[in-house]
Structure 1
């Protein structure tokens, strides 16, 4: 598979629905992150290698603290690819373009609203902040790529650009060994 942006999971009234964690998914995500995941709800997108690369998290941590990042990029190779884009200055370039292109800005505002609707379907937080700087700034390509992968192509125009620019991060195979099955 050479296009990771297709969303194969179910879609609810406000967007994609994370698939439940499968056998070993939590352990894979823990290996990917190098720590136990917090507030994990399910797998929002799978890498073409079959492992989670985006997870959905609860809008609140286990202790009730608001946690506005609904979609979290877990694959270390995808994270490295997003970091390379940030280091190349694409956030500033796309931020400038956002200010000059009304159509792009409208699409980005719509992405923010879609993100809020999906998060609010789980829990309404006291903040309307979402991920990656939406709706006015481009500040984290990792978060925007995670949203684009979870929601599917055409929902987040900046996230779609990030995913495209990240290339085939999965080409070398799975980023984390699968846990042994009992």
Structure 2
């Protein structure tokens, strides 16, 4: 199902980390390294096509820029985002350390990819990643209630 969602075989797949209400995969957890040893720092990857589309719409509307600007003026948001970065790094390092503090999605100083943050929130639960939580709130009314996965051919 994940390969069908992505339109290609998944890389470094470890587990399904979250599912849509219809039961199909929404987020996968990946290994910190690809099979050939190449570092792959994105621990959580959004796979649900509907959620990817909704998130892309928010990105195109400028939410990444808006959130990055807020990080400069909202100390509480910046602190929560730093905590999300630390949690993400700790989770990934518990699997395998890459010897770097680079995580994903621009953490902890900018917002580069809402897909990563939404995946983190869906996999880890709300209250961990404030950017992912806000992304989820903004798409919540469009959250799939039926099967939003591609149907087998």
TM-score (norm 2): 0.95
Separation in 1, partners of 2:49, 2:104? 19
SS at match of 1:54: strand
CA offsets 1:117-154 (integer angstroms, 9 cap, x no match): 10001000032111110000001000111011111000
Q: Which residue of 2 aligns with 1:173?
A: 147
Q: Which residue of 2 aligns with 1:159?
A: 132
What's the offset of the Cα at 1:165?
1.2
SS at match of 1:55: strand
List alignment gaps of at least 5 residues for structure 2: none
TM-score (norm 1): 0.80
Pairs aligned (count): 152
What's the offset of the Cα at 1:91?
0.9
> Which 4+ runs in 1 deviate beyond 4 A?
none
SS at match of 2:117: helix
Please tell me the root mean square deviation across aligned C-alpha atoms, in Å: 1.3
List alignment gaps of at least 5 residues for structure 1: 1-27
Q: Which residue of 1 aligns with 2:43?
A: 70
- Structure with the larger helix share: 2
Q: Which residue of 1 aligns with 2:60?
A: 87
Separation in 2, partners of 1:37, 1:159? 22
